[in-house]
Amino acid sequence: MQNSTESKIALVTGAAGVLGIAVTKAFLDKGMHVVLMDIDQARLQLIQGDYPEGKTTAAACNIADPEDVSRAFTGIKEAVGHIDILVNNAGILSNNKVEATSVEEWVKVMSVNLNGIFYISKLVIPGMKKRGWGRIINTSSLAAKTGGITAGTAYSTSKGAVNSLTFSLAAELAEYGITVNSIAPAYVRTPMVTAQLSKSQRQELLKKIPVHRLCEPEEFAHVVCFLADDMAGFITGEVIDQNGGLHFD
Ligand SMILES: NC(=O)c1ccc[n+]([C@@H]2O[C@H](COP(=O)([O-])OP(=O)(O)OC[C@H]3O[C@@H](n4cnc5c(N)ncnc54)[C@H](O)[C@@H]3O)[C@@H](O)[C@H]2O)c1
């Protein structure tokens, strides 16, 4: 085994979002260097000011555009050398069910939630293989397993594909010391969830969730840290449910 995560370099996509920020903070607390990737350059710059100087590298990029991802990755390699831990967390929500989903919306959701993971993983994997160690952690969703309680068809399908990609990469990369897992959260206390609910809808939802509360972003970050740890090296191809008891399998 290698030493603990302390000296590692992590790349977090969707780093300007609520879960990306929680993961970044948890990684920084562990002493890691974190590459912050997000399409929202202005917000990236803003949040980077809150982190300890020299401990993060901003990489503005549209993960749905393979050329932009390639350009950003060249810059990342120049800046930090390599990536040990990749957290594929960027994602967009769509609540439209099939008939209300336009072709453009379908393609966009797939491009960000699925293709983006493929583009960035493809570039990061060779370095992980060379060093014989790596962690890839994908953000799926409960919607992948339920068909989407509130989430729409494109979103639920994209997250199902994230699970399949997790299984494929886990099988391909196990022998190189690289684990690939995903986390399937539901109802984390983020604008992605709260912004779309009225007060009464929120109360109804809380009644339905067996633990009667939303998941905190820090709880999600805790699971990411668990999977990133050296001691989780025997876990690969797993989808960890984080849904407050809404769904068992
Ligand atoms: N919030 C929840 O309850 C919940 C539940 C299940 C799954 N998820 C998943 O967790 C992940 C993070 O969600 P969040 O709640 O933090 O959302 P968020 O909207 O706060 O963050 C998402 C981030 O991704 C970035 N992003 C969007 N498109 C991008 C692109 N093309 N290229 C690069 N960056 C892009 C956004 O700018 C944003 O900063 C998503 O994959 C989401 O599907 C969230």
**Ligand 1 centroid, distance to 20 Cα (angstroms):** 8
**Ligand 1 centroid, distance to 2 Cα (angstroms):** 31
Establish whether residue 18 lines the binding site of ligand 1, counting it when its CB lies within 6 angstroms of any ligand atom: yes
CATH number at 174 reads 3.40.50.720
Establish whether residue 152 lines the binding site of ligand 1, counting it when its CB lies within 6 angstroms of any ligand atom: no
3-state secondary structure 213-225: CCECHHHHHHHHH
Question: In this structure, which amino acid lies at residue 106?
Answer: W
| Residue whose pair of structure tokens reads 């957290």 in the numeric block | 87
The span from the CA of 168 to the CA of 5, in Å, is: 25
Q: Which of 51, 119, 155, 187 is catalytic?
A: 155
Does residue 207 sit within a domain?
no
Q: Whose CA is nearest to atom 42 of ligand 1?
A: 91
Does residue 199 sit within a domain?
no
Question: What dihedral angle (degrees, nearest 10) is formed by the CA atoms of 16, 19, 21, 24?
Answer: -120
Q: By residue range, what is the domain housing residue 168? A: 5-189+216-238
For all residues of the chain together, what is the average pLDDT? 95
DSSP-derived secondary structure letter, 113: I
**What is the pLDDT at residue 212?**
97
Percent of the residues in the chain that have a pLDDT greater than 90, as a whole number: 89
Does residue 177 sit within a domain?
yes
Question: In this structure, which amino acid lies at residue 94?
Answer: S
**What is the pLDDT at residue 196?**
73
Q: How far is CA 70 from the centre of its chain?
A: 19
Establish whether residue 92 lines the binding site of ligand 1, counting it when its CB lies within 6 angstroms of any ligand atom: yes
Does residue 209 sit within a domain?
no
Q: Tokens standing for 140?
A: 């799926």
Beta bridge partners of 188: 215
**What is the pLDDT at residue 150?**
86
**What is the pLDDT at residue 21?**
98
DSSP string, 158-226: HHHHHHHHHHHHHHHHGGGTEEEEEEEE--BSSHHHHTT--HHHHHHHHHHSTTSSPBPHHHHHHHHHH
**Ligand 1 centroid, distance to 36 Cα (angstroms):** 13
**Which residues lie below 8 Å from residue 35, measured CB to CB, with a gap of 6+?**
9, 10, 11, 12, 56, 57, 58, 59, 76, 79, 80, 83
Which segments in the chain show pLDDT lower than 50? Answer: none
Does residue 62 sit within a domain?
yes
**What is the pLDDT at residue 200?**
87
Query: For residue range 190-208, what is the model confidence (pLDDT) as tens digits?
Result: 887 788 778 888 899 899 9
Establish whether residue 22 lines the binding site of ligand 1, counting it when its CB lies within 6 angstroms of any ligand atom: no
Q: How many residues does the chain have?
A: 249
Does residue 153 sit within a domain?
yes
Domain count, the chain: 1
Q: Tokens standing for 1?
A: 């085994």
Establish whether residue 94 lines the binding site of ligand 1, counting it when its CB lies within 6 angstroms of any ligand atom: no
Ligand 1 pocket test target in 12, 19, 76 with most atoms within 8 Å of CB: 19
155 tagged catalytic: yes
**Ligand 1 centroid, distance to 3 Cα (angstroms):** 30
Query: For residue range 79-92, what is the model confidence (pLDDT) as tens digits?
Result: 999 999 999 999 99
- A 10 A CB-CB count for 136 gives 29
Does residue 9 sit within a domain?
yes
Lateral strand order in the sheet of 9-13 = 56-60, 33-38, 9-13, 85-88, 134-139, 178-185, 239-242
Does residue 205 sit within a domain?
no
**What is the pLDDT at residue 4?**
62
